[in-house]
Amino acid sequence: MSPFDWFRSPPWREATIWALDLETTGLDPKSAQILSVGMVPIREGTIRWGERWYSLVRPEAVDQATTDAIRVHEILPDELAEAPAVDEVVPRIAERLREGALLVHWRTLDVAVLRREIARAELDWPRPRIVDTADLLARLDRRRRLIEPHAEALPTQLRAAREALGLPPHLEHHALHDAQATAELFLALAARMHLRTFRQLR
């Protein structure tokens, strides 16, 4: 093995990438509770819908913010009451993240909440590579503006970003479908930007 192989960034297509979305009770990473989680793997550059995973999560406390969030995400209170607690769900998320990279759209909330809950469950953070489609969109937008300085900025909201890249509408505010939508957006961005290695995904 050449010494330079240690510095070679592996092709992302050779790894498993788990697209993840959390539906939460709010936007504050310190207090938001997880209501549902959806995960969809990308293997060998292909979305493996058959290996998807979804779970509702029973909130520890039900306040007005929780009630409002349940309404937005169209989750029935009875469904949440019968759902597993967060400490039952978090190990299953961590298990998947030990297998591969983590793909999210806007890491600020989801990754922070996930790290908090994994630590609270007294589990080690799996230390996955983290890929954020919002970051990739910002990079694509900067490239585009070098060629078209007066072009409108690319939208960063998931639905609008997908539309800008020619992807069809999806069922919003549902963790599993948002995870799939993020995976599709990533593949479109990777193709558009000719991204081949993990180093290029930073």
CATH code of the domain occupying 10-201: 3.30.420.10
pLDDT in tens, 39-82: 999 999 999 999 999 999 998 877 666 677 777 777 878 888 89
Helix (H, G, I), strand (E, B) or coil at 84: coil
pLDDT in tens, 92-141: 999 999 999 999 999 999 999 999 999 999 999 999 999 999 999 999 99
| Burial zone of 168 (CB within 10 Å; 0-12 exposed, 13-18 middle, 19+ buried) | exposed
Would you say 187 and 49 are in contact if contact means Cβ atoms under 8 Å apart? no
Up-side HSE of residue 42: CA atoms within 13 Å toward CB? 26
Would you say 200 and 101 are in contact if contact means Cβ atoms under 8 Å apart? no
CA-to-CA distance for 77 and 62, rounded, in angstroms?
10
What sign for the dihedral angle of Cα 62, 68, 69, 74?
A: positive
Residue 134's pLDDT is 97
Q: pTM of this prediction?
A: 0.91
Single out the residue of 8, 12, 7, 9 nearest to residue 195, CA to CA.
12
